[in-house]
Amino acid sequence: MAEASGLFSATLTPCFNSLNKTIPFSHFQSHSHLIIFRKRPIHCSLSTSDTAKSTATQTVPWGCDIDSLENASALQKWLSESGLPPQKMAIQRVEVGERGLVASKNIRKGEKLLFVPPSLVITADSEWSCAEAGKVLKQNSVPDWPLLATYLISEASQMKSSRWRNYISALPRQPYSLLYWTRAELDRYLEASQIRERAIERITDVIGTYDDLRLRIFSNYPHLFPEEVFNIETFKWSFGILFSRLVRLPSMDGRVALVPWADMMNHSCEVDTFLDYDKPSKGVVFTTDRPYEPGEQVYISYGKKSNGELLLSYGFVPKEGTNPSDSVELSLSLEKSDKCYKEKLEALRKYELSTSQCFPIQITGWPVELMAYAYLAVSPPSMSRQFKEMSAVASNKNTTKKDLRYPEIEEQALQFILDACESSLSKYNKFLQSSGSMDLDVTSPKQLNRRLFLKQLAVDLCTSERRILFRTQYILRRRLRDIRSGELRALRLFDGLRKLFN
């Protein structure tokens, strides 16, 4: 599974997760990506409504179990026969990731591996088995993400005639993805994390994208896009595949692509290497950043993502403390009782911000955008001239002044952040305390296993995010203590001088 670094919809906008500058904690410590239709209909059984009763989903009829080696071996054989050069890796069952690429020979640090030719890479320009279907989508200017999602379903629905049948047969029948969580499960297991809102938005966007295609295109060409094949269930499958496997290749003008074989590689937070197109060898490669011995799993990076983002797209959470890019999103909001609420709201809207905004906090600190938002939230009417400047910095759109500081309201701003942090911590504590007593009584062993799996993912995520909040709370309290003790010393000095002159 490789980095899903693109977005299929302009409405898929996450909370702040790519801010430029972070205020390190050390700052406070030192003052701190012809159709043959199946006769069996595919019915959608996944609901995102609050009344969803089913916790298991109807799986698509293609693909395989997540740990199938038989399908993977058939894929490797087909790829080799189709132009994939001899490899120093082989697909095996692995402890982390179900399946992965394992070194079969010694691999040196700095060595280029894979060399997957463009003819074995799926892009928006790939040839359709049903050329008419592809032509219709392109005539309607369908963007790359929904185009590729529809392409996967189209090719999968006619496996015998598709050149990608071996690849599709090796894809998981149900990808690890929050797209397969019901609304009730999201509310239950991710109630404390902001990733819940991101997951709901993503599911809503996938459903919205499908509905748009169905109304504008599919319903007008039912002979090309029958609903028993092109439905919300199959779209959740295809988008699940895209989120977990699509890569953006910088050296191919940033084109997004599915790269069979390469997408069997798993992620490690300790690895910095990634996939790209290598012009001299004319293939998709990656360069190792460490040596591997035979039998060792070979890793790539899916990108510098937080544990929540990895769960959102890839369906796993790294072990606590192993992800240096981990962060937790903290929500800050303006108070409607603020005397300058309307003026501050106007300033925020000018920079496309809202009265409630999320910012990422890492174990090492938080972005200057968060501090700017906090300054705005606590600033008095006398600082109204600075509202625009604060909002500009908070939006990350200020090109002249990235950092700002207002000593006269720093204490109030830090206290404002601490209050939000402690409010968020109370939700995590409540969830983790109640997670041991959650009712998991179900009639089907498969449902029980699934719920236990989801619960464990949620516990792992919340534990890692709470750890960052605890650290933030500690730093904020210490900084506030230093400020207040300094003010007390200054007051005592002033009183002493006043008494002296009296």
Any binding-site annotation on 302?
yes
Residue 165 and residue 161: Cα distance in Å, rounded? Answer: 8
* 31 labelled binding-site residue: no
Enumerate the β-bridge partners of residue 102: 90, 297
Residue 238, both tokens: 């295809």
CA distances from 335 to 379, 404, 405 (A): 12, 22, 21
Q: Are strands 299-300 and 266-267 parallel, antiparallel or unpaired?
A: parallel
375 appears as a binding residue in the annotation: no
Say if residues 273 and 288 touch (Cβ distance below 8 Å).
yes
Q: Which residue has the tokens 């997670």?
A: 435
Cα distance between residue 282 and residue 284, in whole Å? 7
Q: What is the rounded distance in angstroms from the CA atom of residue 361 to the CA atom of residue 373?
A: 14
Backbone angles phi, psi at 158, to 5 degrees: -135, 60
299 known member of a binding site:
no
Q: What angle do CA 144, 147, 151 make, to 5 degrees?
A: 130
CB 202 within 8 A of CB 4: no
Burial of 120 (0-12, 13-18, 19+ CB in 10 A): buried
Looking only at the bridges linking them, the beta strands covering 283-287 and 98-103 are unpaired
Q: What is the CA radius of gyration of the chain?
A: 26
Residue 221 in marked binding region:
no
**Distance of alpha carbon 417 from alpha carbon 390, whole angstroms:** 15
314 appears as a binding residue in the annotation: yes
- Residue 267 annotated as lining a ligand binding site: yes
Helix (H, G, I), strand (E, B) or coil at 392: helix
| Contacting residues for 119 by C-beta, under 8 A, at least 6 apart | 82, 83
Query: Residues within the annotated binding site for S-adenosyl-L-methionine?
Result: 245, 266-267
Query: Residues within the annotated binding site for substrate?
Result: 245, 263, 277, 302, 314
Query: Residues within the annotated binding site?
Result: 245, 263, 266-267, 277, 302, 314
